[in-house]
A and B are shown apart, each in its own frame.
Chain A
Amino acid sequence: MEDALCQKGEPVMCQKGEPANGACLSETGLEVFRVNSKFQWLDRARREANDTQNHVIDEFLAGHIDRRGLLRHGSAFGLSAAVMGGLIGAPMREAHAGTPGATIRVASATPTGAINPVTVADLGGLVLLQQTGEFLIVDEPNLQLKPALATSWSANTDGTVWTFKIRKGVKFISGKTLTADDVVYSIARLADPKQGSNALSVFKGVLDPTGVKKVDDHTVEFHLDAPNGNFPYLVSSDNYNAIILPAGSDAADFQKTFDGTGPFKLDTFTPGQGVSFVPNPHYWGPKALPAKVQFTFFADQQSSVLALQGGQVDVIQQIALQGAQGLINNPQVNIINIKASTHRQVHMRTDVGVLKDKRVRQAIALTLDRPAIVKGLFHGLADIGNDSPFAPIFPSTNKSVPQRAKNIAKAKALLAAAGLSGGTELTLTTEQVQEIPDYAVLIQNAAAEIGVKINLKIETSAAYYGQATYGNSDWLDAEMGITDYGHRGVPNVFLSAPLLSTGTWNSAHFKDPAYDSLVASYVATTDLSKQREISGKIETLLLDETPIIFGYFYNYLAATAPNVTGVKVNAISQVFLAGASVG
């Protein structure tokens, strides 16, 4: 899929009220734009932009970042869509295009527990939160940030204080009007360690509940623990728990009413089976097209695929390639294929046993034939990884760092240098999730080529995570393990929780002060080329130390029936249906 802003072949409309001088006069803004003076228009834009925003414009004009980078970075710093659209030449749409009145039936994963916005951590639960709940910002499938409940945002010069303007005229389904109080309540609750929210993985070390401050009824300030150039992503739909709820509401009661500000409201909820939504008549944005949206929970992929083929559902929230290979070229099914940063971390404990020596870890990493794995396990629908969290889709990834490739001779030499030419034995513990057991077997076979015997222990996810604290969890204690990591829009979480000395997900027990300080400066930087410089250093450090093997980043796949249009899906597996129609 391309990163275009509009669908191919769709008529493009102008942003309402846009002066003829700066944007479009006709259906296709492009031609008009070329006619008008680019620089005249730009000057005006520059005068309104602040330093950081201007810097992004500079980078783009100088060719240091491409269109995509501009979109992402520009939106992160609050450059308005109009400005960016003007720079690129592809204006935005307003209302949903399509036929209203359809019933859209979605096959989604069975939620693993209560639909509690504070605790939800699974695919099945998070997709339900975003039907009726809304975020401050939406992270679009093309990685651009779009204003939702926040109309604009900007940072101070060093990126420690972010100010968000809250949209006016928004009502909750229960009738209450949205104000800054609701935003403060919702975000502070997620950042509060005492609440034990799943979102702590995002906010820990970044935002303290006391740092969320109401300025006035429609302005909120976030005072961060440390400078953070990517903060808007952390309160966007990327942080799937961060829906804005009424101040004072009990999160455990959410599943009774699904109260939110979104385009849909609750119709009926049958726990364990499904839930349906109908349009919210008082929604602040364009009215939702479907007359009804019906989610049915499927415990496994096979049933949902059969249901799609049998015409019982129109959309499947997420498909793993394994088991669905036959669907890819099937004309009866429309596959949505999005590049993502979803990956598996193969960690190796750096503090015990033979894996203490980084040469052993490097050796094991060198036995993997990554292109073959991508071809065999994913039929090419994945990117190979270079043993760092920097996935190819991140603009801040430094692509000049050499890619690690299979090299048995070098691996054997490293092992010998570490004194293990006679081989050794390790246990790899992991969870029964999608292709992970197959990946484990492949690693086992690969390591055998250099004399490393790996024994496998495959358990259920619950058993693997255990109590999720050091000493009580196979995930955090096993000498080797494979853990599934879902997509994020920026690599911040991947860099911190699993690899920082203070990280709570640090299965490799990796403690490196040089790494910690590099990450701190990466996170604080607001400048894209500087970020790339630092990421290059991080990637090189991790290639040397190899506490974790990042073998691949695989694409996100979803499916719709061929006659369904307007379904927006992102790599976190959120499904946006307000613009969906059938036929």
Chain B
Amino acid sequence: MGKQLAKMLVKRLGISLLTLLLLSALVFAGGQLLPGNVGRAILGPLADAASVAALNHQLGTDLPVPVMYWRWISHFVLGDFGTSYSFQLPVAPFIGHALLNSLKLAGVAFVIVVPLSIFGGVYAAMHARSWIDKVISISGLSMTVIPEFVSSIAFILIFGVWLGWLPVSATAPEGAGALTQIYHLILPSMPLVFILFGYIARMARAGTVEALDSDYTRTAVLKGLTWRVVIFRHVLRNALLPTITVVATQLGYLVGGLVVVESLFRYQGIGSLILTAARDKDFPMLEAGILTVGSIYVLATVGADVLYTVLNPRLRGGGR
């Protein structure tokens, strides 16, 4: 088994690397199309043309595209994300900080939604076809499709403004402890909880239904094991498998796709960082940001596949 797994891992990583390389090239090429002029963007609209040209030459933005790309990628791989055109400071700390923020938000959302939806899905499956089941399924479905800014606004108004229970700004005051930070992140994580609940609950439900139907469960019950043991040992595991897959594939979205939520809650995550960099034609920041998000997605997908294979007893035997 180990050899098969290792082989699969290597193959998948190889493909992922290729994907990432292609992505970086695409992003770089795309960035060239953005309107505006780098030197101008840095010096502002009032600087004179000669200074702008001088700066452009200094930054090397007037070189041919392939040369610029090679310069960039060779530095990136070595950990040098370059210098932000807008801030005239190294890019890496910005990315690091924004990524940390996004991960914190994703983390809070996960911690809330995963147990909630697994519980909901399993419960629905155990009472299949009852009204509880219907309610959970339909509400899950409805919540999934509500645009983030709609649910965000509802939450902000109800819990932030009218009831005043939770703070509206996602950014805790500087130097705040972990608990305060989490407190500020509860409201922004709600739209994400909404969106993910439906997916995960549905997966959990399907997995549970299948597990409940299986021979293993029937045997276990006949053997006299209590429901509780059966659930925890067998059913939950089956419910978890597809959940992990969903969670992993959503990781890319959760980290980089939250531009709207970050905008609404004025949270400096990587989504807004990318948006601002695109608007300001800040190449190094833009490309570093997108590649980061893409890498996370690709790695998460690989990780999910590996985890799925490892955990799924049926798949361990043969290759995929």
Contacts and interface: CB of A to CB of B under 8 A. Distances in A.
10 contacts: A119-B47, A195-B51, A198-B47, A299-B266, A303-B266, A466-B40, A468-B40, A468-B44, A468-B46, A473-B45
Interface string A275-305: 0000000000000000000101011101100
Nearest to A276: B174
Interface stretch (B81-89, B214-222, B236-244): B81-89
A239 to B, nearest CB: 13
A469 B46 contact: no
A441 interface: no
Given A114-B89, A252-B88, A300-B266, A306 B46 contact: no
Contacts of B280: 462
B49 A469 contact: yes
Contacts, number: 93
Interface in B1-50: 35-37, 40-50
Nearest to B93: A271
A278 to B, nearest CB: 16
Interface stretch (B64-72, B165-173, B193-201): B165-173
B167 A310 contact: yes
Contact of B46 (A112, A114, A198, A463): A198
B253 interface: no
Contact of A307 (B42, B48, B169, B279): B169
Contacts of B49: 469
A105 to B, nearest CB: 9
Given A121-B46, A194-B50, 19 more contacts: A114-B87, A116-B88, A196-B43, A197-B47, A198-B44, A255-B88, A271-B94, A273-B174, A273-B268, A296-B174, A306-B168, A306-B169, A460-B279, A462-B41, A465-B45, A466-B40, A467-B36, A467-B37, A468-B45
B45 A475 contact: yes
Given A271-B87, A303-B169, A119 B279 contact: no
B197 to A, nearest CB: 28
B83 to A, nearest CB: 10
A149 interface: no
A117 to B, nearest CB: 13
Nearest to A200: B46
A272 interface: yes
Given A271-B87, A303-B169, A310-B167, A200 B266 contact: no
A193 interface: yes
A468 B42 CA distance: 13
A486 interface: no
A200 B49 CA distance: 13
A419 to B, nearest CB: 37
A469 B47 CA distance: 10
Contact of B86 (A112, A296, A300, A469): A112
B52 interface: yes
Nearest to B173: A312
A193 B50 CA distance: 9
Interface string A182-204: 00000000000111111011000
B86 A114 contact: yes
Interface residues of B, number: 32
Interface in B90-113: 94, 97
A300 to B, nearest CB: 6
Interface in B260-314: 266, 268, 279-280
Given A112-B86, A298-B266, A469-B49, A119 B174 contact: no
Contacts of A562: none
A175 interface: no
A119 B88 CA distance: 12
A460 B41 CA distance: 13
B162 to A, nearest CB: 14
Which of B44, B86, B169, B174 has the largest count of A CB atoms less than 10 A from its CB? B44
Interface in A110-157: 112-114, 116, 119, 121
B169 A193 contact: no
A274 interface: yes
A466 B86 CA distance: 16
Contacts of B45: 121, 465-468, 473, 475
A312 B176 CA distance: 11
Interface in A13-56: none
Contact of B47 (A114, A196, A300): A196
B89 A271 contact: yes
Contacts of A272: 87, 94, 97, 268
Task: Report the 5 A-B pairs with minimum CB-CB distance, sorted nearest first.
Answer: A196-B51, A196-B47, A468-B45, A465-B45, A114-B88
B174 A113 contact: no
A431 to B, nearest CB: 11
A294 B173 CA distance: 12
Contacts of A460: 279
A196 B48 CA distance: 5
A114 B89 CA distance: 8
Contacts of B46: 121, 196, 198, 200-201, 468
Nearest to B48: A196
Contacts of B41: 462
A386 to B, nearest CB: 27
A503 to B, nearest CB: 13
Contacts of B52: 196, 467
Nearest to A469: B49
Contacts of A300: 266
